Structures are given as C-alpha cells and as structure tokens.
Amino acid sequence: MSIEQQIEKLIGEERYEEALSLCETVNDTYQKSHVIRVQNARALHELYRYEEALEIIKTLDPSEESLITEAAIIIDWVSDFYYKNCDAPPYEIPVFINKAINICDRLIAGNTPYKLDAMYYKANALSAISEKTAYRLLLHEVIDSSPSDIHHLLARTTINLGNSYIEEGRYVEAIELYEKAVRRMPDFSMGWSGFGTGLSHAFYYSGREESCLLHMALFCFYRAEELVDRRKIRYAKAAENGLKYVLGGYKEKPKKEDITEWNPIAEKGKCATKENAAFEEFFYSIALNETLFLNLCLGCRKDDSYLLDKFL
C-alpha cells in the first residue's frame, strides 16, 4: 500500500491525527506529492486547524480535489466562527464566502466528480450570506441528484434542510427530515441532535409539561451524546447544548439510568395504529433496548396533532 493510500485510509476512518502524522513524516528532502499535500490539508481541516489547511492549499496548483477542499475549509471556517467555535478568519467574510461560491460554481459547471459536494458547500455558502431560498432549493437539488448510497452527504444535506425549517417554525417538516437522516445514518450524532432539536422546539411550541415530545427529544440528545466524536467541536456542542436545553424543560430532572429501563420488545404494538405505525416501527428498529419512555412517545400522531401532543 502506497503512503497516499495509507493516509487516505486513515482519513476515511476519521483517524485524522494519525493521517496528519503520516503526512508530516514524509521527508522534506523528498518532495511531497500533490495528493499528499491535499491530504495534509484535509486532515488539518478535520482537526479545525483551518488557517494551516488553507495555507497548504494556497501553495498548490489548482486541481478538482484541492478546489473542493478549499471550498470546504472556507465554509466550515465561517460556520464555526458564526457558532463561536473558533476565531474569525483573517479575511472579509463576504469576500471569503464569494470565493467559495466561485470555486463551487467552477466544479459544478465542469460536471466533475465533486459536483454534488460543490452543490452542498455552495448551499451552505448561500446560507451564510442569508440567501435562504436559494440555499433550500440547492439542498433539495442535492438530495434529488444524489445516488442513494451516498449516505453521509445525503444525511448532512437532509439535516441542513431540517435546520432551515426549524428557523421558520416548521417543526413537523423538520422532524420528518431529521427522521430520514437518522434512518440513513443511525450512527451520525448530528442527525440525532437535529431530531432532538426539532422535537424540543415542538414541545415548547405546544406549551405542554413533560410531554412525550420532551421525552423523545431527551432520548435523541442522549443518543447524540453517546455517538459524538468529541474532536468534532460543532457536533459535540450540538449534543451538549441540546441536552441542557431539553433537561431544562423538566420540573424534576430524570435519572439517566431510569430512562433506559423500558423494554420496547415487550411493549411493542401496544399503541400501534395506522397513523403512527411508521413512526413506531422507526423507533423500534433504531432504539431497541436503549429507549426513553417510548411507550409514551409512540402514542403520538405524526401529523398536525404531533405538536398538540394528543395520545391515541
């Protein structure tokens, strides 16, 4: 296996520190290949070392891979700055964002292998400059154009689309999207954090006390907390902040060890009806023995009454 293949394998396994270390072991007297230098930038990017990553990209002749990496660095850097996860980029934000958009347009127009990724990052760039309608339309286009086996891209795109609906108070639509994301990637913490966010917003909108929506949201955030990679600051904060937010809705904080006692296998079918069968099936297939009062949760209709917390 070549050194490039070894590094790519480590990046694919999210072993970014090891990938970076391997990149840096290439002797300075041996000129690093273009591929290794891009891999070096990608590893730094994933470790939130945006400025170092961008400095490497600047030294390279443009290639499709270096361009999509540059666009990703710019968009994620700005996003993390907006979420207060890092310092501001040393550039004018609008100019920085427009550069990313131009890169994405170039990759999209060229019909490159990175076209879908470029569409995804362009959508996020449009969101950063408050072009919300164009942002949502492009996310829909990514979803419609993506092969069904590109799970990570589809999950991230679906989550972002759900986030846009949350901002507009369209909680039912957002929850539907988060459910799709979690079905596609059950081990992706951001899907569970998004799901919990939608449910918790719906709970506070409904004005009910300790309803099934709140229990479901708490389950989702506990799941996100369990799955999250702590190196991914944005993901870790989403789980942590969401959990604090939901627990604030309880008059008396429930004990985590008490939450997982219910056995869904024994209770399965207790609340089943045509209206909530799909939702029930989803939670049973995902949660199994790790559930949180789902005997209450599963009594909730998946339509407008979802927000009103009506039990069947």
Query: 64 or 176: which carries more pLDDT confidence?
Result: 64
pLDDT at 7: 93
- Looking at the fold, whether 96 and 127 belong to one and the same domain comes out as yes
pLDDT at 122: 96
pLDDT at 42: 95
pLDDT at 222: 84
Task: Decide: 88 and 80 in contact? Cβ < 8 Å.
Answer: no
Dihedral class, residue 277 (left if φ above 0, else alpha if ψ from -120 to 50, else beta): alpha
pLDDT at 200: 85
Tokens 């799955």 belong to residue: 227
Query: 150 or 266: which carries more pLDDT confidence?
Result: 150
- Looking at the fold, whether 28 and 88 belong to one and the same domain comes out as no
Separation CA 257–CA 138 (nearest Å): 43
Of 25, 41, 60, the position where a domain reaches its end is: 60
Residue 30: pLDDT band (50, 70, 90) is: low
Of 114, 130, 145, the position where a domain reaches its end is: 145
Residue 112's SS3 state is coil
Query: 269 or 56: which carries more pLDDT confidence?
Result: 56
Query: 271 or 186: which carries more pLDDT confidence?
Result: 186
**Is the residue at 141 inside a domain?**
yes
- Looking at the fold, whether 24 and 52 belong to one and the same domain comes out as yes
Q: Using alpha carbons only, what angle is made at residue 312 by residues 181 and 298, rounded to the nearest 5 degrees?
A: 30
Question: Is pLDDT of 99 > 90?
Answer: yes
Averaged pLDDT for residues 25-32: 64
Contacts 24+ apart (CB under 8 A), 90-99: 90/51, 93/128, 94/129, 97/125, 97/128, 97/129, 99/74
pLDDT at 89: 92
pLDDT at 255: 66
Question: Is pLDDT of 206 > 70?
Answer: no
Percent of the chain with pLDDT over 90: 39
pLDDT tens profile 215-254: 778 878 888 888 888 888 888 888 899 888 888 877 777 6
Of 26, 43, 60, the position where a domain reaches its end is: 60
**Is the residue at 8 inside a domain?**
yes
Residue 258: pLDDT band (50, 70, 90) is: low
- Looking at the fold, whether 72 and 46 belong to one and the same domain comes out as no
Q: Which residues span the domain enclosing 4?
A: 1-60
**Is the residue at 15 inside a domain?**
yes
pTM of the model: 0.78
pLDDT tens profile 105-160: 999 998 889 999 999 999 999 998 889 899 999 999 999 998 888 888 999 999 99
Averaged pLDDT for residues 2-12: 91
